[in-house]
Amino acid sequence: MKIEQQNLLKAIQQLVNAGNTILQVKDLFEDDLFFVVFNFEPSEFNTAASVDYHVLKGINITEFLDKNINLYSNPTVLVANFDKTVDECQIINMEISKGCRWCKYSK
């Protein structure tokens, strides 16, 4: 694993330790997008009704992580910057194709 990926995981862990749930999604170009999650419903399949997408309510924090990845070693500053960013951003609702790969980080 590359150093940058290790630092990213450490930063995500600090945000999770502060009580946040983070969702990582691979977009159509195989880039990683990150969201702080307020609600996430994975797609379901059953014989009665099938939902062909995941439903997400959250905030895109990809740019925040890109800019603050090296603050993982200072969780107080990382979380303070994160809280400020979240307060300034709008919550979005998304439907994500069930074919997209995703990983949810939470306590």
Residue 59 has pLDDT above 80, yes or no: yes
Q: Using one digit for the tens of pLDDT, what is the confidence trace for 14-56?
A: 999 999 999 999 987 788 999 999 999 988 766 566 668 899 9
Nearest Cα residue to 90 out of 66, 55, 54, 60: 60
pLDDT number for residue 46: 61
**26 CB neighbour count, 10 Å cutoff:** 15
Per the structure, the count of domains in the chain is 1
The boundaries of the domain holding residue 60 are 3-105
Quote the CA–CA distance of 30 and 42 in Å, as a whole number.
19
